[in-house]
Amino acid sequence: MLRIGNAAVLPCLGSIQRALSRLLLPGWVLLAALSAPAQVAEARARTIPELKAFFQQNCTRCHGLDGSAKGPDGRRLGGLDFTKAAHEFRTLSGPASEREIRTMIRTIRKGILFGYSMPAWKDQLSQEDATLMVREILLKAETGRTIEP
């Protein structure tokens, strides 16, 4: 207790801190326990069929069902034709192709023009997911062949 003269005015700061920590600690533990499963689920890498489904749900409007940029907004927004890029990548090798792949991965995760031209998918796709999507889906796209799970 804090004393002024002989009168007890307020409990000392240490006892207030102890009381608050006893009250708040169970809540923090519960909050941490409830949020842990969500963090584990987000950390799990997606499979190729899951990434193809993600592409269908989020990318076809601009990049088209087959990746050819013939979606409703593809021409207007200048969506990348992955079928053409896939053909060009088959002829590239070495550092040039790896640099282009890294650029595509970065674009998927960060978007274009602050998300106005293309949204950033970093909150939905991990670095590994974006890499798998580029290497196993986008760079294997063919005109007329729908990208489906």
Per residue in 87-117, pLDDT tens? 777 776 677 688 888 999 999 999 998 878 8
Give 122's pLDDT tier (boundaries 50, 70, 90). Answer: very high
Would you state the pLDDT for residue 64?
Answer: 92
Q: Which two tokens stand for residue 98?
A: 């790896």
pTM above 0.75, yes or no: no
CB 143 within 8 A of CB 65: no
Residues 123, 146, 80, 86, CA torsion sign: positive
